[in-house]
Amino acid sequence: MSDPRQPKATVAPDEVRAQLERIVRSQALAGSDQLKRLLQLVVERALNGHSELLKEYNLGLEVFHRPPDYDPKIDPIVRVQARRLRSKLDEYYASEGVHDSLVIQIPKGAYIPVFAARRSAAPDMQPARRTNSKQRRRMWLAAAGLALLAVVVVVARVAKDSGAAAPEIDRSVAVLPLEMFTEDGSRRHVANQVAEVLTTELAKSRQLRVLSRTTASQYRDPTSSLPEIAKALAVRWVVEGGVGVEGSRAYVKLRVVDSRSDRKVWADVFDCDLSELVTASTRAADSMAAAIIVERGASQH
């Protein structure tokens, strides 16, 4: 009996790998190295008959380099990135891949890909199909234009009538200067390095808008409350914390606060060698971004 978890063998593995290569090289995934790694791993595992290994925990370790004690319930990065990947695949097949004969999909609720060949119309049906396609495209563009106009009108009216915050604020993040937990002022550059890495890595997410270090640095010694700082910077999410250095080791404590509720939505503490500080900070930024995106999604429903 065949394993129901395996993708249906509707196409040859070589065709799937060729299609995978087209998607990885596409503009839809340009600059998204993590999404490329995720897609490549799940496709190869499925083709090699190891779909049972496509679990959230395993993907967290192999694709996103989480430590062995990684807990998917606390760190949702795999779910968030899988959601982004599904969106990117839809984007690809609606643009560059609109005429591709093979479709690679990752159904919601799982990480096992499905491969399916598109059916081609009979030769005598091709002209009509092209005509219908153009008509549908014109109708879609017209409908999209009307929908966009309606959205603009509604947003403008809401902003005018209720003073609602602009959508940009809802996805805006500021990484405040980190405190030094040790008295050795000569190690201040370590805290600055962590803040720089967090700012840079968070900015790689297209779903977030991250303030520059220059703008955020004015609050190195804040006298205002965190909600007041967030309001002044026009951001919703604030990253704060501190760094301690002892010998060749660094102790880092970080948290993300939702300024609307003054509530922590993410927090972590890690102790590492100074040579591993950039890697550890990068992982922390990935986890922060995932948590913020999940919180934004929850608050919009």
Give whole-number Cα distances, 72 to 64, 156, 255, in Å: 12, 39, 18
Q: How far apart are CA 52 and CA 46, in angstroms?
A: 9
8 Å CB contact between 272 and 280: yes
Q: How far apart are CA 254 and CA 298, in angstroms?
A: 22
Q: Which residues of 111-141 are buried (b: 16+ CB within 10 A; e: fewer)?
A: bbbebeeeeeeeeeeeeeeeeeeeeeeeeee
8 Å CB contact between 172 and 211: yes
pTM for this model (two decimals): 0.51
Per-residue pLDDT of the chain (301 residues; tens, 9 = 90+): 444 444 444 678 899 999 999 999 999 898 888 899 999 999 998 988 888 889 989 898 888 888 888 888 888 888 888 998 999 999 999 999 999 999 999 998 889 999 988 764 334 434 444 445 566 666 666 666 655 655 555 545 544 444 444 578 889 999 999 988 876 667 888 999 999 999 999 998 888 999 998 888 888 776 788 889 999 999 999 999 999 998 889 999 999 999 999 899 999 998 999 999 999 999 999 999 999 988 887 776 5
**Euclidean distance between the first and the last CA atom of the chain, given in angstroms as a whole number:** 42
Burial class (CB within 10 angstroms; exposed 0-12, middle 13-18, buried 19+) of 272: middle
